[in-house]
Amino acid sequence: MGLNYFNMSMKKILSLFLLLTWCFIGLTTAQDTASVQHSPRVFERSHTGVFNGQRIAYNSIVKETFLKNSKNEVTASFWSTSYIKEGADVSRPVIFIFNGGPGSASIWLHMGFFGPKVVRVDSDAQEDDGAAPYTTEENSMNLLDLADLVFLDPIGTGFSRVTEKGKVEDYWGLVEDANSIAEFIRVWIRENNRWQAPKFLAGESFGTTRAAKVAEVLEGDGQHVALNGLILISQALDYAGSSSWQDNLTSFFTYLPSMAVTAQYHGKTGKEKTLEEFAQEARDFAYQEYLPILFSGQKISEEKKDEIAGKLAYFTGLEKNYILQSDNQILMHRFKKELLRDQGKAIGTLDGRFAAKETDEVAEGPVLGDPSDYMTEGAYTAAFNAYLYNDLGVDLEIPYLSSNGEIGSKWRWRPVPDGSYWEPSYVSTARGLSEVMHRNTKLRVLVANGYYDLITPFFDAEFTFSRHDFPQERIEMKYYEAGHMMYNRREDFEALARDIRSFVEDVLSVK
């Protein structure tokens, strides 16, 4: 009897456990998908602000847009935030803005640079952002006097979600993502009657990969949308130059100048040179000496290997013996740990100016993560969520996801349809953008580079745009003394704002 009673009790417990599990799964699924038992939601408010010395009345519109499949079924709830000048006519320029990841919402460019209100973190990359309250301020250099601004949160980020009829596989991929962004842009243009308006895309990091692909996608589907300009912040068009992995010889070449100027910043080398002088010296060495050696491999003599190691030690500030042990090929995650190992610190990935004390001083690479991320992310998250609620009047039960780590592991990089032959290779949308620029002879590109960006190096931008048959006369390169998010440094925030304004004005002046 005791055993039977025990078995019955275990069955009840198991049944209860399964019931609770299915309830949990149901709740989780409900949170991961959006309900479409309603019309698209919208939160709209009126504002005034002084931008570029002009008082501008404008409306903020945080809006849900339904994306649909070929059966006209709603498959995704796509959220955007538009800032539209009151009384704007149909020819007023518009800039569509997004970040990267994959898996990042537009919060960084929204709250860090392009938005009407911005958050402030330590410009000198010395202090952690700490805890609330954080400093925000009106963005007097905002472009609203010049153009309307539309911030996009791709599916799986921000408030954007797939619906009951949708699947994340339809959106989480290089081509799939570009298709959904292009679909939204066409909907926005139609709803706001902006077919005759000049149009720009602004992206950061993978957002530049996306921008190039979206520019290509917008040329098709029976609704051709030609763009006037692309603003590429910390470009990543060709991943061979921004993927620091073993056996990827291109990356050792493209990352070297960034390592050099970062080592100079931390006082390890180049003390008698200006930043620009040392950067150019590193470029020259990379092209003239380092690149041939990398591709010669073990064919070079021991004497030549030793000579190159000595020069790499000069540029990187690392010990010559360490470089020889690395076979003259320094992986970025090791460099970030090794440069300030004598101080027990690791430097940032997004911005090499940042440095933070590590808990494990003998590890191969940073163990706490990226200090240029965790020393600023708290401020961005809190400030933006408060801004959504207090300034824009957004009151939703679902959380705003500034990033979604699930997306990266499920992302589909395959650039061709299923069934087409394809071998894995480094992601690249560079050739596609070059072809778009040849078909659209008015399209111009601004590329903004941070010297201390250790994830998308400035030298890779130069290397990328010097190839692929890009029309050089329509490419502008700009440089800033900060990292991936160069606008976190106040001087570069202002410089970037001036450069983008000048770029947009120049593009608009061309008839």
Quote the pLDDT of residue 459: 98
- The average pLDDT across 333-337 equals 97
Quote the pLDDT of residue 9: 41
Q: How many Å apart are CA 181 and CA 171, to the nearest integer?
A: 9
Quote the pLDDT of residue 283: 98
pLDDT in tens, 446-489: 999 999 999 999 999 999 999 999 999 999 999 999 999 999 99
pLDDT in tens, 369-410: 999 999 999 999 999 999 999 999 999 999 999 999 999 999
Under 8 Å CB-to-CB from 348, ≥6 apart: which residues? 125, 336, 354, 355, 370, 371, 372, 373, 375, 454, 483
Q: Which residue has the tokens 């150019």?
A: 280
pLDDT in tens, 292-325: 999 999 999 999 999 999 999 999 999 999 999 9
Q: How many Å apart are CA 147 and CA 106, to the nearest integer?
A: 18
Distance of CA 296 to the CA centre of its chain: 34
Beta bridge partners of 94: 148, 199
- The average pLDDT across 133-162 equals 97
Quote the pLDDT of residue 14: 38
**Torsion angle, alpha carbons of 467, 471, 474, 480, to 10:** 10
Of 134, 65, 31, 203, which is closest to residue 384 (Cα–Cα)? Answer: 134
Confidence class of residue 34 from pLDDT cuts 50, 70 and 90?
low
Quote the pLDDT of residue 17: 38
**In the chain, what are the domains?**
42-240+377-509 (3.40.50.1820), 244-369 (no CATH)
Q: How many Å apart are CA 471 and CA 174, to the nearest integer?
A: 25
Amino acid in the structure at residue 13:
I
In SS3 terms, 104-160 reads as: ECCHHHHHHHHCCEEEECCCCCCCCCCCCCCEEEECCCCCCCCCEEEEEECCCCECC
pLDDT exceeds 50 at position 138: yes
Prediction pTM value = 0.91
Confidence class of residue 221 from pLDDT cuts 50, 70 and 90?
confident
Q: What is the mean pLDDT of the chain?
A: 92
Pairwise pLDDT comparison (304 vs 13), residue with the higher score: 304
pLDDT in tens, 268-277: 999 999 999 9
Confidence class of residue 424 from pLDDT cuts 50, 70 and 90?
confident
Pairwise pLDDT comparison (18 vs 294), residue with the higher score: 294
Q: Beta strand 161-163 with 33-34: parallel, antiparallel or unpaired?
A: parallel
Name the token pair of 307: 């000579």
Quote the pLDDT of residue 18: 38
pLDDT exceeds 70 at position 141: yes
Quote the pLDDT of residue 23: 39
pLDDT in tens, 105-115: 999 999 999 99
Share of the chain above pLDDT 70, in %: 93
- The average pLDDT across 424-435 equals 95
Name the token pair of 399: 């959380």
Confidence class of residue 226 from pLDDT cuts 50, 70 and 90?
very high
Quote the pLDDT of residue 32: 56
pLDDT in tens, 64-85: 999 999 899 999 999 999 999 9
Quote the pLDDT of residue 368: 87
Quote the pLDDT of residue 327: 96
Quote the pLDDT of residue 511: 67
